């Protein structure tokens, strides 16, 4: 697993780290996931969770509320309470507070059964986990999904952000997302930030949580250094 920081610029701190699948030879998450047989998705999903939590227990600061964000495949989760048991046991074993764990729906996966996904979110929230929709605005992670259930956070897709400084349409879309998020009591993360101009525009719009190469690149089985500028 590699870790990529999510920063809180209002506080000038690292809000959390997203755990990303990487191959032993440096392969990307897409390359690895493409090799997973659909019948093994559940086992692979569980193995990734356990690996991420174990590393977080070893690497994350013990005295801070730094969150661990884990991508998961909702269509691979059969029974929410049973599936989450492994994660809870792993967190307990390494002394990592489960309330610091955020689960993100993986990008572009169509929800085969939205009622089932709603049950997953309800169960995760009941157990104290944080939930998020990844790549909001791309693929299947759009308004229909949000209308059916509300997560704690949404991560705005980088394709909406790219070119925002020169696009009135993109700025209007971001403004609309923020109005909607405030009405639903949902926190917004802007992901894929690569330039200071993008950052300045989004800061001006009222966003405080960010993720992207501008701050740091993912580090394999270690925490990257983040030179924060509040």
> What is the domain-level CATH number for residue 125?
3.20.20.450
* Within-domain flag for 227: no
* Within-domain flag for 94: yes
Q: Rounded to an integer, what distance in angstroms lies between the CA atom of residue 224 and that of residue 152? A: 26
* Within-domain flag for 225: no
- Cβ neighbours of residue 14 closer than 8 Å, sequence gap 6 or more: 5, 6, 7, 8, 66, 226, 228
Is 50 within 8 Å of 87 (Cβ atoms)? Answer: yes
Using DSSP bridges, classify how beta strands 187-191 and 13-20 pair: parallel, antiparallel or unpaired. Answer: unpaired
Question: What pLDDT, on the 0 to 100 scale, is given for residue 114?
Answer: 72
Question: What pLDDT, on the 0 to 100 scale, is given for residue 84?
Answer: 80
Question: What pLDDT, on the 0 to 100 scale, is given for residue 113?
Answer: 67
Helix 80-94 vs helix 114-126: crossing angle, to nearest 10: 30
Using DSSP bridges, classify how beta strands 2-8 and 219-220 pair: parallel, antiparallel or unpaired. Answer: antiparallel
* Within-domain flag for 141: yes
* Within-domain flag for 88: yes
Is 185 exposed, middle or buried, given 0-12, 13-18 or 19+ CB atoms closer than 10 A? Answer: exposed
Q: Rounded to an integer, what distance in angstroms lies between the CA atom of residue 212 and that of residue 5? A: 8
How many C-beta neighbours within 10 Å does residue 49 have?
A: 23
Question: What pLDDT, on the 0 to 100 scale, is given for residue 111?
Answer: 58
* Within-domain flag for 228: no
Q: Rounded to an integer, what distance in angstroms lies between the CA atom of residue 63 and that of residue 158? A: 32
Is 20 within 8 Å of 1 (Cβ atoms)? Answer: yes
* Within-domain flag for 165: yes
The number of folded domains in the chain is: 1
* Within-domain flag for 173: yes
Burial state string for 145-180 with b = 16 or more CB within 10 A and e = fewer than 16: bbeebbbbbbbbbbebbeebbeeeebbebbeebbee
Written as tens digits, the pLDDT of the chain (230 aa) is 999 999 999 999 999 999 999 988 888 888 888 888 878 877 888 888 999 999 999 999 877 789 999 987 766 565 666 678 888 899 999 999 989 999 988 645 555 567 777 888 888 888 889 999 888 876 555 687 788 888 999 999 999 999 999 999 999 999 999 999 999 999 999 999 999 999 999 999 999 999 999 999 999 999 999 986 54
Question: What pLDDT, on the 0 to 100 scale, is given for residue 145?
Answer: 77
SS3 22: coil
Is 18 exposed, middle or buried, given 0-12, 13-18 or 19+ CB atoms closer than 10 A? Answer: buried
Question: What pLDDT, on the 0 to 100 scale, is given for residue 69?
Answer: 97
Q: Rounded to an integer, what distance in angstroms lies between the CA atom of residue 203 and that of residue 82? A: 40
Domain that holds residue 200: 2-220
Structure tokens at 11: 């506080």
């Amino acid at each position: 697993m590699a870790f990529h920081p999510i920063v809180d610029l209002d506080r000038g701190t690292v809000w959390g780290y997203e755990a990303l699948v990487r191959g032993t030879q440096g392969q990307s998450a897409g390359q690895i996931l493409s090799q997973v047989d659909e019948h093994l998705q559940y086992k692979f999903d569980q193995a990734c969770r356990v690996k991420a939590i174990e590393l977080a227990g070893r690497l994350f600061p013990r005295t801070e509320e730094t969150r661990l964000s884990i991508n998961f495949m909702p269509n691979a989760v059969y029974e929410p309470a049973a599936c989450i048991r492994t994660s809870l046991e792993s967190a307990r074993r390494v002394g990592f507070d489960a309330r610091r764990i955020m689960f993100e729906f993986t990008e572009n996966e169509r929800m085969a059964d939205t009622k089932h996904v709603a049950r997953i979110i309800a169960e995760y929230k009941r157990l104290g986990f944080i939930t998020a929709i990844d790549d909001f605005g791309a693929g299947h992670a759009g308004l229909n999904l949000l209308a059916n259930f509300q997560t704690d956070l949404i991560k705005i897709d980088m394709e909406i952000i790219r070119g925002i400084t020169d696009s009135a349409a993109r700025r209007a879309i971001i403004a609309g997302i923020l109005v909607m998020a405030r009405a639903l009591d949902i926190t917004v993360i802007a992901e894929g930030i690569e330039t200071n101009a993008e950052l300045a525009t989004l800061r001006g719009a009222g966003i405080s949580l960010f993720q992207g190469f501008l701050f740091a690149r993912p580090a394999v089985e270690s925490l990257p250094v983040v030179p924060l500028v509040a």
